[in-house]
Chains A and B, each alone.
Chain A
């Protein structure tokens, strides 16, 4: 080959997203997942229900990695380095998902149930928000970062799984930590003996406190009789879009406006200038904005797909379908498994932790969380868990293609932060009944205002976390590193 051709070939190889080692690995992973999917469908077409979870997970993983879309960054970078990029991205995604979720709801395919309102939501958010500053990522963020080769994020997944499982299965020793009113209320519920709901702090919390609370959506509250009005004016506009506009305005005024006016050399800005500045903030990071749009659209599509499949198979829960397909192990006593039908992160991780602990000999089904509500199915047939695997793989494929994949081994400090922070995230998630996705993103976009309360807790916890983190950093870098 002449040197010109060789140079051009090298140039192409350098710019190509596939013709390099990482690209080949990406193709390999994609081919493997596709092959396994086809094989499953050939064995039994009903696996499509599970595969929908997997492939939406892959899509989420791609969008998350593409936009570096992490809700921990939304809070943490806002307070730590005054960068509103992710806070803006989350608001964009929220506004859009509220519309797609609204469309799914009015067509009758929604699988969403609102959360009961109570103090546990803000406290859970606080603990979760504090933990995520130290782990370097939120719940969904830790999944996509694991896909980038970040071993610290993988440690977060480990600790978030086990902390949740252990927390949900706390033993009798924890009973004294719960108010006696909870024990009385729990006993009245008449739950089956094998669940031992009056035993264990989390069971008492769930059956003796949370079950006495109620929740609802804005649509439920409006109840005009016209579903479109209730959902789009209530859930989407009042419940999501208006709050996001208010938050975006606050972000603009407190973090973006000054720099924008200085860069544009505007001393007496007009309203049009402010609007341009606001738009500038929204589009400052195109990747983030696009990821937000993509997530909002696909989150809605997943709800529709799962809802449609449930109607097609005439089921309320994947557990019913699994049993018809011959899988009966690991169900809850209601013969159900965890099957939200939309993007969710933490419960399936708890189930993985629970499954391993069960394998190690601990009885994990004598509680409400696993025994009554979610079951502990085999991870290989746990649809939401495979969605999480999909997120990791989707992120890995994109990272490999972009030459961004790299195994990163954490030092002792980072590993400790990951494990402890992950444990806090797990506890916060179970208290708040979800994470940044399940307790905030999925909630506010479906008219459940408790999501904003979780976000408030998460933000406050994040603020305290950043302050604590800063103090730690100051002590660590005092005197030598940056003084030259």
Chain B
């Protein structure tokens, strides 16, 4: 599998790290967020539950906001707005 990161719209990006286990999802999320400007949105897709808690702590600790969380069949889709 490959990391998929790209722009999906005006001020909107998507990072798909399905298939990756700790610590990849959290480290790639960190790298991806560095590319966003303030107020822009990252759609994060991952399927490793354990990474979730670390992502929450990392993302919110840096002043960003996870404003939507969906999960089903082991896949998580989170929307993060950069602070």
Contacts and interface: CB of A to CB of B under 8 A. Distances in A.
Contact of B22 (A76, A399, A481): A76
Interface string B48-83: 111011101110011100000001111100000000
Given A81-B54, A137-B50, 10 more contacts: A77-B23, A82-B58, A83-B57, A83-B58, A148-B49, A287-B53, A408-B19, A408-B47, A481-B3, A482-B31
B6 interface: yes
A77 B74 contact: no
A216 to B, nearest CB: 36
A90 to B, nearest CB: 13
A86 B51 CA distance: 11
Contacts of A284: 57
Closest 10 CB pairs of A and B: A406-B74, A136-B22, A83-B57, A136-B21, A68-B53, A404-B49, A68-B50, A85-B57, A81-B58, A259-B61
A259 to B, nearest CB: 5
Task: Give the bracket for the number of chain B residues in contact with chain A.
Answer: 35 or more
Interface of B: 1, 3, 5-7, 19-23, 26-28, 30-32, 34-35, 47-50, 52-54, 56-58, 61-63, 71-75
A411 interface: yes
Contact of A484 (B6, B49, B58): B6
6 contacts: A68-B52, A145-B50, A287-B53, A403-B71, A408-B21, A477-B31
A410 B24 CA distance: 12
B50 A80 contact: no
A391 interface: no
Task: Give the bracket for the number of chain A residues in contact with chain B.
Answer: 35 or more
Interface stretch (A149-157, A181-189, A294-302, A351-359): A149-157
Contacts of A262: 63
Given A68-B49, A82-B58, A482-B31, A136 B23 contact: yes
Given A77-B26, A469-B23, A259 B58 contact: no
A438 B54 CA distance: 25
A268 B28 CA distance: 35
Contacts of B52: 68
A45 interface: no
A263 interface: yes
